[in-house]
Chain A
Amino acid sequence: MCRIGAIKSRDYIHPSWALRLMRSQQKGHDNSGFAMVMQDLGGVFENYKKYPVLSMACTEEGMKTAEDILYSMGFSRIGQWNPEIRPADNLNIEPMPIYVFQFFHYPKSMRNASQAEKEQLLVDARITLRRALEANGEGYVYSFWPDTLTLKEIGDPTDIGTYFNLWEESKDFTARIITAQCRQNTNYDIVRYAAHPFFLQGYTVLANGENTFYEKNKHFQKSLHKGYIGFESDSQCFLYTLHYIHRELGWPLKYYKHTVTPLPFEEIERHPERDVLLRIRSSLAHLEINGPNTLIGVLPDGQMFTCCDSKKLRPVVVGRNEDMVVISSEVNGINEILPDRDWKQDIYPHARETVIINNELEVNQWQQCV
C-alpha cells in the first residue's frame, strides 16, 4: 500500500525531512522508489521564484532534444542547479544519466503576455518536451513551472537519498511545501511517470488508494484538457479532477469533494445545496471516484488539503506545531519529525471531511454533509 506524506512549513526545510517522514513508514511500502514535489522553493531557487523551473531526468540526447525544443520556442536558460550526485556500487537505484533542474526566461514575445497565456505556454512546452523525449526513450519531463521542482526515482528510498545526497541538510536546496511518496506504482510495470505526486499547473496531488472508476474517469478526462495525459496510474485521475474543478471551472475547493465522493442521494435531498449538488452529480458523474482512497493536494496558492473516500477506508493523520503542519499516512511519520508536538491536537480526518491548511498554517475542517 502506498504511504504518502506532505509537509507545509513556515520556514524553508530540506527534503531530508520528507525522507525521514516517509522512511519511518517503510514497513508499509515496498521500497521501490521515492518521488517528491517541492513548491515555494528556497535556497538557490529563492531569487528565481518568477521563473519556470524544468524538472527532467534524461539521457545526453534527451538533454539536447529538450534544449533544442525550448530554444526554438524562445525560452532562454538563466540558471541551473545540479544535485550533488554520490554514486556507489552498493546502492539500489536505477538512475538516469542526467538530472536537470533549470530556470528559464519566458520567450521575449511573452514578456508582456498575461499570466494565463504564460501558464498555457508552459503546459504546451512540457507536453511537447514529454512527447519528444518519449518517442525515443530519451527521458522524462516531470514539471515545468515556476517555483516548483519534481524528482522521481526508482530504487530504495534510503539509497536514493544517499545518491542525491538528500540526507545531508543543506540550506541551498529547500522549500516550504514538500509532498512525497515512497513507492513506485504497482499496477503495471514500473513507469517513472507513475509515481506520485502528480503535478499540473501549480496543482499537486498524491494518493494512497485505488481508483475503481479509473476507466470512466480517464475516458472523460481525456477530452477535458490537453494537459490530462499519461494516465500511467489510476491516481493521476485525482489530480486532473482537482485541476478541472478548481481551475477550469473555477469552483471553490469544497466542490472537489462533492464531485469525487458525492453525498448519497438521500443526504443530498436534505442538503441546503440540494439543487446544485444534484446537478453536479449528473454533469460530473464520470469524475466520481469509487474505491478506497486518501488524497493530499496542494493548490497553486500554497494551500494544502487532505480528504478521503466516502467510507474512509485508508488512513491519514494531520499533526502540527507552531511552524509546521504534516500530513501523513501513519502517525509514526509525524512522530519522527515532530516528536515534541502536542499529539492531542492531531487530526484524524473523517470520511466526509476536508482538512485545509492555509498559508498561515491554520487548519480548517470542512464537513461535506450538514
Chain B
Amino acid sequence: MAAMRVNALARDDMQWRITYNHERCTLCGHCLSSCPFRAIEAGVEKRRKVISDHLTPKPKVLFQTVPVIRQVLDHHEACRGCGCCEKVCPNEAIAPRLNLETRLPIKHRGTTADGYKRGGRSNLNPMGNTLDKITIGRISQMTDPSLDAQRHTFDMLAPLGRVLPPESLPLRISETGSLGITESLPPLNWMYPIIIGDMSIGALSTRMWEALAIATAYLNEEVGLPVRMCTGEGGIPGRLLRSHYVRYMILQIASGHFGWNRIVNSMPDMQDDPAGILIKIGQGAKPGDGGMLQAKKVARHIQEIRGVPKADLLSPPNHQGLYSIEESVQKMFLSFNSAFKFRVPVAIKVAASTTSVSVYNNLLRDPYNIVGGFFLDGIQGGTGAAQDISLDHTGHPIVSKLRDCYLAAVHQGKQGQIPLWAGGGMAQGWNLAADAFKMISLGANGVFTGKLMLQLAGCVGLDNGKCNACNTGLCPAGICSQNPVLVKRLDIDKVAENIVNYFIATDQELKKLMAPIGNSSLPVGRSDALISTDRAVADKLTISYAC
C-alpha cells in the first residue's frame, strides 16, 4: 500500500476542479492546447469492465487502458477556472467548477514560502457594492420638466487642469466692456467625463493596448466623444508620441519613471501636446505596493520602450524624494509642467486611503496653482499583478472617500479647483453610466475605468478567483500577455469595436440619467438627486435615506 501523504495536493485542495466526462470526450485535444496554464494533461487510466458475450450470462472481467484528460495537481500549474477548455470542447466533456472547499491559498504559502500572486481585483467584497445601494431619486416632473434624452443637447465635458478661483482669474475689462485675459493661466483641458484608466503597455499585450488606442482615436474622430486614455506607467511607442493621436493620451509617470526617457527624447519631434500628465503615487488595488511586471512579461519591445533588461520590473511604492506633499508639488509638478512648457495639465493619482482627504486639502492650498487634478483610485480597481494579500486586504472603498474629498473642498469653498476624478470598481455591476452618474453627483468631475475595458476585450476573469492570472504572462484571452501565441487570440478590431460601442451606449445612458433630473450639464455635486435605501450609506454620504 502506498504511503499516505497527507500533505500532498489533492483534487479537493484545488480552487477549481475539473469535471471530465470520459464518455463524451473524443480526445480531440482542443482543451489541452487551449489551456495556457498547463493545468490539464493527457494521461491514461486503467478501467475494469465486466462483459458477457454468450447467450447465457458468462461474465468475464476485462482490463483496459484508456486515454483521459485530467487535472494537474500543482501549485504553479493549478487550474484557474478560466473556462477556456470548456469553451473549446465540442462535446461538453470538460469544465472547471469552483471548489468551495479549496485550501490552495494555504497550501501555496506553506509549500513555497511565498505569497500567492495574481492579477485582477479583490476577491472579497465585504462592503458590498455601495453604488448599487444608491438610486437617482429626484425626478423632475411638474414645474421643472425632465428633458428629452433623445433630442436635447447635453453638455458633457469635464475639466482636467488647475481651475482658478474666479477672483484670481487675471481678467481686465476692455473699453468695449468685455473681459480679456491678461496673463497666462494654468493649462486646462476639457474631456469626456469617463477616462480609460491607466493600464501600461507592459501589463497589457501590445495588441490590447493598440486596441484601446484605436478605440480612443475612433471615439474622438468618428463618434465625436472626446474620450481620453491614460497610458499607464511605462511609456508609449515613439511613433504614437510623434503622431497627433498623442492629444488623446494622458501620459503616466510612476515611481519607476519607466518609459519617461522615451517621452523626453521624443519631445522635440512631438507635433501635439498630450491631454495631460498623470503622476501615479498609489494604485487603488494594492496601495502601498509598487507595480510588478514579472520578467516573463518583459518582452523585447517592452525592453526597448523602457530601456531595461528582461528582468522583474518592480516600481518602488514610493517616489524618490517625495518627502512631503509640498515637495511633491514643488518638484514633480514643476518639473513635469516645465517639461511641457506649462501647456499640459499635470495631475496626481493616489490610492484612496483614510489619509487622502488630508492630501487633497493640502493640494488645494498649493500656492503654485499647479496641481491639475486629483485622481482617487479605490480598492476595487487594479489590473496588474500583485500579492493576493494586497489585492484582497488592503485599500479603501472609493465612494465615501470621493465624497469626503468633495465635501472637504466644499468646506474650504474650493470645490472644483482641483478636478476630482475617481475610479476603482466602476461598473462592477456592469453599468458604467449609472456608476459614473452617481459618482459625479457625489462630487466627482469624472471617473476612470480600466478593468471594464478588459472585460470588453474578452477577459474571462471575474471576482471569486476566476482566472485572475494577469500576472503570469499566460492570459488565455491574450489581453495581458506578451506570449505571441496567446496574443494572437485577441482580435484587435473586435476589441476596439466593443469598446467604441460600449462608450456610445454609455453616452446614451448617461443622457437617460441626466434628462430625468432636468440637467443639461454634468450634475457635479448634485447629491440631492440621489437616495439610498441603506441608512448607513445615506448617512455617510449625506444623501437622503429612503425606504
Q: Give every chain B residue within 8 A of A291 (Cβ-Cβ).
A: 140, 144, 518
Q: Decide: A273 near B520, CB < 8 A? Known: A1-B143, A210-B143.
A: no
> In the complex, what distance in Å separates the CA atom of A279 from the CA atom of B179?
11
A283-B413 in contact (CB<8A): no
Size of B's binding interface in residues, CB under 8 A: 40
B166-A249 in contact (CB<8A): yes
> In the complex, what distance in Å separates the CA atom of A212 from the CA atom of B527?
11
Q: Decide: A279 near B525, CB < 8 A? Known: A264-B155, A292-B143.
A: no
> In the complex, what distance in Å separates the CA atom of A215 from the CA atom of B442?
11
Q: Give every chain B residue within 8 A of A213 (Cβ-Cβ).
A: 519, 526
> In the complex, what distance in Å separates the CA atom of A283 from the CA atom of B169?
8
> In the complex, what distance in Å separates the CA atom of A291 from the CA atom of B517?
9
Q: Give every chain B residue within 8 A of A1 (Cβ-Cβ).
A: 143
Q: Which of B166, B169, B171, B521 contacts A290, CB < 8 Å?
A: B521
Quick one: which of B494-528 are within 8 Å of A by CB? 517-521, 524-528
B178-A252 in contact (CB<8A): yes
Main secondary structure of the interface of B (DSSP, over half): loop
Quick one: which of B133-191 are within 8 Å of A by CB? 140, 143-145, 153, 155, 157, 159, 161, 163-167, 169, 171, 173, 177-181, 185, 188, 190
Q: Answer yes or no: B206 CB below 8 A from chain A CBs.
A: no
A212-B410 in contact (CB<8A): no
A278-B188 in contact (CB<8A): yes
Q: Answer yes or no: A20 CB below 8 A from chain B CBs.
A: no
> Of A114-122, A168-176, A189-197, A216-224, which binds chain B?
A216-224
Q: Answer yes or no: A313 CB below 8 A from chain B CBs.
A: yes
Across the interface, name the chain A residue whose C-beta is closest to B527: A215
Across the interface, name the chain A residue whose C-beta is closest to B153: A264
A215-B526 in contact (CB<8A): yes
Q: Give every chain B residue within 8 A of A204 (Cβ-Cβ).
A: none
Q: Give every chain A residue within 8 A of B518 (Cβ-Cβ).
A: 210, 212, 290-292
Q: Give every chain A residue within 8 A of B145 (Cβ-Cβ).
A: 292, 313
Q: Answer yes or no: A282 CB below 8 A from chain B CBs.
A: yes
> In the complex, what distance in Å separates the CA atom of A251 from the CA atom of B181?
13
Q: Give every chain A residue within 8 A of B157 (Cβ-Cβ).
A: 265
A283-B143 in contact (CB<8A): no
Size of A's binding interface in residues, CB under 8 A: 41
Q: Answer yes or no: B415 CB below 8 A from chain A CBs.
A: yes
Q: Could you mark each residue 254-283 of chain A with 1 if its beta carbon is under 8 Å from any beta carbon of chain B, else 0? A: 110000001011000000010110111011
> In the complex, what distance in Å separates the CA atom of A250 from the CA atom of B525?
27
B178-A273 in contact (CB<8A): yes
Q: Give every chain B residue within 8 A of A292 (Cβ-Cβ).
A: 143-145, 518
> In the complex, what distance in Å separates the CA atom of A265 from the CA atom of B410?
25
> In the complex, what distance in Å separates the CA atom of A1 from the CA atom of B415?
32
A285-B178 in contact (CB<8A): no
> In the complex, what distance in Å separates the CA atom of A255 from the CA atom of B526?
24
B525-A215 in contact (CB<8A): yes
Q: Give every chain A residue within 8 A of B179 (Cβ-Cβ).
A: 251-252, 255, 273, 276
Q: Answer yes or no: A156 CB below 8 A from chain B CBs.
A: no
Q: Decide: A286 near B416, CB < 8 A? Known: A210-B143, A214-B528.
A: yes
Q: Decide: A223 near B412, CB < 8 A? Known: A212-B144, A251-B173.
A: yes
> In the complex, what distance in Å separates the CA atom of A209 from the CA atom of B161?
34
B144-A265 in contact (CB<8A): no
B153-A223 in contact (CB<8A): no
A282-B520 in contact (CB<8A): no
Q: Answer yes or no: A310 CB below 8 A from chain B CBs.
A: yes
Quick one: which of B392-422 are within 8 Å of A by CB? 410, 412-413, 415-416
Across the interface, name the chain A residue whose C-beta is closest to B140: A212
A282-B412 in contact (CB<8A): no
A278-B524 in contact (CB<8A): no
Q: Decide: A223 near B171, CB < 8 A? Known: A273-B179, A282-B188.
A: no
> In the complex, what distance in Å separates the CA atom of A310 from the CA atom of B188?
25
Q: Which of A216, A279, A284 contacts B524, CB < 8 Å?
A: A216
Q: Give every chain A residue within 8 A of B153 (Cβ-Cβ).
A: 264
Q: Give every chain A residue within 8 A of B144 (Cβ-Cβ).
A: 209-210, 212, 291-292
Quick one: which of B315-346 are within 8 Å of A by CB? none
B415-A219 in contact (CB<8A): yes
Q: Answer yes or no: A288 CB below 8 A from chain B CBs.
A: yes
Q: Give every chain A residue within 8 A of B177 (Cβ-Cβ).
A: 252, 254
A278-B181 in contact (CB<8A): no
Pick the most buried of A213, A216, A286: most chain B CB atoms within 10 A of its CB. A216
Q: Which of A220, A279, A313 contacts B185, CB < 8 Å?
A: A279
> In the complex, what distance in Å separates the CA atom of A215 from the CA atom of B159?
20
> In the complex, what distance in Å separates the CA atom of A140 from the CA atom of B525?
32
A276-B188 in contact (CB<8A): no
> Least Cβ distance of B116 to chain A in Å?
46
> Least Cβ distance of A309 to chain B in Å?
9
Q: Could you mark each residue 211-253 of chain A with 1 if its beta carbon is under 8 Å from any beta carbon of chain B, else 0? A: 0111110011011100000000000000000000000111110
Across the interface, name the chain B residue whose C-beta is closest to A269: B190
Across the interface, name the chain B residue whose C-beta is closest to A252: B177
Q: Give every chain B residue within 8 A of A310 (Cβ-Cβ).
A: 520
> In the complex, what distance in Å separates the CA atom of A13 from the CA atom of B415?
45
Across the interface, name the chain A residue whose C-beta is closest to B176: A252
> In the complex, what distance in Å separates the CA atom of A250 from the CA atom of B153?
32
A219-B416 in contact (CB<8A): no
A282-B525 in contact (CB<8A): no
Q: Give every chain A residue within 8 A of B528 (Cβ-Cβ).
A: 214-215
> In the complex, what distance in Å separates the CA atom of A95 from the CA atom of B415?
42
> In the complex, what distance in Å separates the CA atom of A292 from the CA atom of B141?
12
Q: Decide: A290 near B520, CB < 8 A? Known: A215-B526, A215-B528, A249-B167.
A: yes
B143-A286 in contact (CB<8A): no
B415-A220 in contact (CB<8A): yes
Q: Give every chain A residue within 8 A of B166 (Cβ-Cβ).
A: 249, 280, 283-284
Q: Which of B143, B165, B180, B412 contacts A276, CB < 8 Å?
A: B180
Pick the most buried of A1, A250, A288: most chain B CB atoms within 10 A of its CB. A288
Q: Give every chain B residue within 8 A of A209 (Cβ-Cβ).
A: 144
Quick one: which of A113-157 are within 8 Å of B by CB? none
> In the complex, what distance in Å separates the CA atom of A210 from the CA atom of B140?
10
Q: Decide: A286 near B178, CB < 8 A? Known: A212-B518, A291-B144.
A: no
> Least Cβ distance of A299 to chain B in Å?
14
Q: Decide: A212 near B155, CB < 8 A? Known: A251-B179, A276-B180.
A: no
> Least Cβ distance of A343 to chain B in Å?
28
Q: Which of B163, B178, B181, B521 contacts A282, CB < 8 Å?
A: B163
> In the complex, what distance in Å separates the CA atom of A213 from the CA atom of B178?
27
> Least Cβ distance of A258 to chain B in Å?
9
Q: Give every chain B residue within 8 A of A286 (Cβ-Cβ).
A: 415-416, 524-525
> In the complex, what distance in Å separates the CA atom of A286 from the CA atom of B518?
16
Query: A248-B167, A282-B416, A291-B518 are known contacts; what are 5 more A-B pairs with Cβ within 8 Å?
Result: A210-B144, A212-B140, A215-B526, A265-B155, A265-B157
What are 29 of the A-B contact pairs (CB < 8 Å)?
A: A209-B144, A210-B143, A212-B140, A212-B144, A212-B526, A213-B526, A215-B527, A216-B524, A219-B525, A220-B415, A223-B412, A251-B171, A254-B177, A262-B521, A273-B178, A275-B181, A278-B188, A278-B190, A280-B166, A283-B416, A286-B416, A288-B521, A290-B518, A291-B518, A292-B143, A292-B144, A292-B145, A311-B520, A313-B145
Seen from chain A, the residues whose Cβ lies within 8 Å of a Cβ on chain B are 1, 209-210, 212-216, 219-220, 222-224, 248-252, 254-255, 262, 264-265, 273, 275-276, 278-280, 282-286, 288, 290-292, 310-311, 313
Top 6 closest pairs, chain A to chain B, by CB: A223-B413, A210-B144, A215-B528, A216-B525, A283-B166, A282-B163
